Amino acid sequence: MTAARWRIRLGSEAEKDFARILKYTKDTFGPRQVEVYRATLLEALAALDAGPDVLGSVAREEIFPNLRTLHVSCRGRRGRHFIMYRAVQGHVIGVVRILHDAMDLARHVPPLD
């Protein structure tokens, strides 16, 4: 029997982060690189369909209960961002932020309901 897949839902801040990352990448590295990094981010987000405890994820209880991070560079991908997420009701992964790995993660997490 195959395990049920999780749905991934980006919160409003995560959506803004995604757009800002792509704009910065395009402005700094050009149109080809923005497509490469977009695919990297989408691949990392898609990995979450296996559930919150996906290989390479880290519990971030020191920031908020049930919060986890997944660095986009796991599984051979290259990148400098963390996907911050938590499991919510109904087999849903709620992505709260996508932040650069040099940032103070705790400082940039919106209040979790």
With respect to residue 1, please indicate whether it lies within any of the assigned structural domains.
Answer: no
For strands 7-10 and 92-100, give the pairing: parallel
Q: Which domain holds residue 31?
A: 7-104
Residues 6 or more apart whose Cβ sits within 8 Å of residue 11: 94, 95, 96, 97, 110
Quickly count: other Cβ atoms within 10 Å of residue 89's Cβ.
6
With respect to residue 113, please indicate whether it lies within any of the assigned structural domains.
Answer: no
Whole-angstrom Cα distance, residue 57 to residue 30? 30
With respect to residue 78, please indicate whether it lies within any of the assigned structural domains.
Answer: yes
Place 92 in a pLDDT band, splitting at 50, 70 and 90.
Answer: very high
Domain count, the chain: 1
For strands 81-88 and 67-71, give the pairing: antiparallel
Q: Is the pLDDT of residue 109 over 90?
A: no
With respect to residue 57, please indicate whether it lies within any of the assigned structural domains.
Answer: yes
pLDDT in tens, 52-84: 999 999 999 999 899 999 999 866 778 899 999
Q: What is the pLDDT of residue 108?
A: 85
Amino acid identity, position 61? E
**By the 8 A CB rule, do 76 and 89 touch?**
no
pLDDT in tens, 18-62: 999 999 999 999 999 999 999 999 999 999 999 999 999 999 999
Q: What is the pLDDT of residue 16?
A: 97
With respect to residue 94, please indicate whether it lies within any of the assigned structural domains.
Answer: yes
Residue 78's CATH number: 3.30.2310.20
Region for 66 from its dihedrals, namely left if φ exceeds 0, alpha if ψ lies in -120 to 50, beta otherwise: left
The whole-model pTM stands at 0.89
**By the 8 A CB rule, do 11 and 110 touch?**
yes
Encoding tokens for residue 92?
A: 């849903």
